[in-house]
Amino acid sequence: MHHQIDSLAYTNQLRSLPPSHKVGFAIALFILGFVSPMGVQGAIALWLAIWIILYAGIPAKIYGQLLLIPLTFWLLSVPALILGVSFSGNVNPVDIAWGSRYFYLSQQGITQAQTVLMRAIALSSCLYFVLLTTPFADILNLLKAWRFPTIIIELLALMYRFIFVLTDTVLELVTAQKSRLGYRNRRSQFRSLGIIISQLLWRTLENYRACSLGLISRGFNGELRFWSDRQYQANPRYMVEAIAGYFVLLLLAIFPYVDKL
């Protein structure tokens, strides 16, 4: 429940780059990663690891932990992808029989699992690059510039602010319960959690009442508008590397097709 990614995004070394550059770079790689062969996907993942760890200064350990998340999901689905069940008898000699069923390793499944793994790693890297280098306030400003519906931007901004307030509340409540011997067994776990959720809803509405007064007292007129003069500095060195690197990857991606022609 600690919002580590957000605090890294706000302190990382690429924070002052224009968010449109960072997001644009990630989207371009994203599209490339979606359609390119596995080798290029691997190259994208490695290159972005350099950006994230070396240029942005995100601790390698934390980035590794983040990459474990897609990996875990992949591991979880691997059996479903590559294990086949057949009721029609031996497909090939290595199958294992269990009653009338035959389990086998599906060649198609193994290929699929490999493709999915590489794609997931490459695309997750692109997503993480944005998450770890661009603070949420910058993303919101970008969405504003891209003319997303106002109501969505307002809701995102409010949710962002109050997720932190409510998380603090929950953490305090859980700590208080633990200090009074809560969560000792399953029964007390259920009871304590029931209380937490109910209290959380109650406090959510308490916050609503207090904050709406706060908004009104500063002249709320139906819209939540804010102003900011955040300045960004484009970095030529990074721009050159991004563009040059992207072209190399693009060539590598289309090379096999050119060959076929």
Partner 1 sequence: MNKKSRRLSLLAMAGLSLYWVIGAARPAQAMHIMEGFLPVGWAVFWWMVALPFFVWGVRSLAQITQQNPNLKLLLGLAGAFSFVLSALKIPSVTGSCSHPTGTGLGAVLFGPGVMTVLGSLVLVFQSVLLAHGGITTLGANAFSMAIVGPWVAWGVYRLFESRQQHKIGIFLAAALGNFVTYLVTSIQLALAFPAATGGVMASFGKFAGIFALTQVPLAISEGLLTILVWNWLQAYAQPELQTLKSIKGQEVVQS
Partner 2 sequence: MLEFDNIEYTYPCNTTPAIKNLSWQIPVGRRCALIGRNGCGKTTLFRLANGLYQPQKGVIRYQGKPLRYNRKSLSDLRQKVGLVFQNPEQQLVATTVIEDISYGLCNLGVSEGEMRDRVRATLADFDLEDLAHTPINYLSLGQKKRVSIADVMVLAPQLLLLDEPTAYLDPYQVRQLRRMLNQIEKKGTTIAIATHNLDFVYAWANWVCVVDRGQIVAEDTPEGIFRRSEVVEGLGLGCPLAMSILEALHHDTPTEQALKDALFFQGKLD
Q: Which is nearer to partner 1, 54 or 216 (CB)?
A: 216
Burial class (CB in 10 A: 0-12, 13-18, 19+), 56: buried
Give min distance, CB of 196 to partner 2, in A.
8
Give min distance, CB of 22 to partner 2, in A.
16
Which residues sit at the interface with partner 2, rule CB under 8 A? 2-4, 6-7, 10, 135-137, 140, 157-158, 160-161, 164-165, 169, 172-173, 175-182, 184, 188, 191-192, 195-196, 199, 202-203, 207, 210-211, 213-221, 224-230
Q: Which is nearer to partner 2, 78 or 157 (CB)?
A: 157
- Return d(Cα 73, Cα 120) in angstroms, integer: 10
Select from partner 2, partner 1, none the partner in contact with residue 219, using the beta carbon and a kind-dependent cut-off of 5 to 8 Å.
Answer: partner 2
Q: Which is nearer to partner 1, 74 or 241 (CB)?
A: 74
Q: Which is nearer to partner 2, 4 or 90 (CB)?
A: 4
Helical H segments across the chain, by residue range: 4-11, 19-35, 38-50, 60-82, 107-133, 136-145, 150-179, 186-217, 236-260
Give min distance, CB of 175 to partner 2, in A.
6
CA-based radius of gyration for the chain? 25
- The answer to whether residues 9 and 134 touch, using CB atoms and an 8 Å cutoff, is yes
Give min distance, CB of 155 to partner 2, in A.
12
Select from partner 1, partner 2, none the partner in contact with residue 19, using the beta carbon and a kind-dependent cut-off of 5 to 8 Å.
Answer: none
Q: How far is CA 166 from the centre of its chain?
A: 21
- The answer to whether residues 111 and 38 touch, using CB atoms and an 8 Å cutoff, is no
